[in-house]
Amino acid sequence: MGQKAENSNLASEFFVMSVLCRMGLNPILTLGNRKEIDILLHSKNKTYTIDVKGIRDKTNWPIGNKSKIDAIKSLKNHLFIFVSFLNKFDDSTVGPEIYIVPSCDVMNLKVWWGAKYDQYSIMYNALKRKSKKYENAWHYLMNGEI
CATH number (domain holding residue 48): 3.40.1350.10
* Strand ranges (E), the chain: 28-29, 39-43, 46-55, 60-64, 78-84, 97-102, 111-112, 120-123
pLDDT digits (tens, 9 = 90+) for 34-64: 777 999 999 888 899 999 999 999 999 999 9
Greater pLDDT, 72 or 21: 21
**For the chain, how many structural domains are there in total?**
1
Residue 27 Cα to chain centre, angstroms: 14
pLDDT digits (tens, 9 = 90+) for 76-106: 899 999 999 999 999 999 999 999 999 999 9
CB 67 within 8 A of CB 105: no
β-pairing, 46-55 vs 39-43, is antiparallel
- Rounded Cα distance between 107 and 80, Å, is 11
Query: What's the pLDDT score for residue 45?
Result: 87
- The answer to whether residue 1 scores a pLDDT higher than 50 is no
Residue 86 Cα to chain centre, angstroms: 15
Residue 125 lies in domain: 3-142
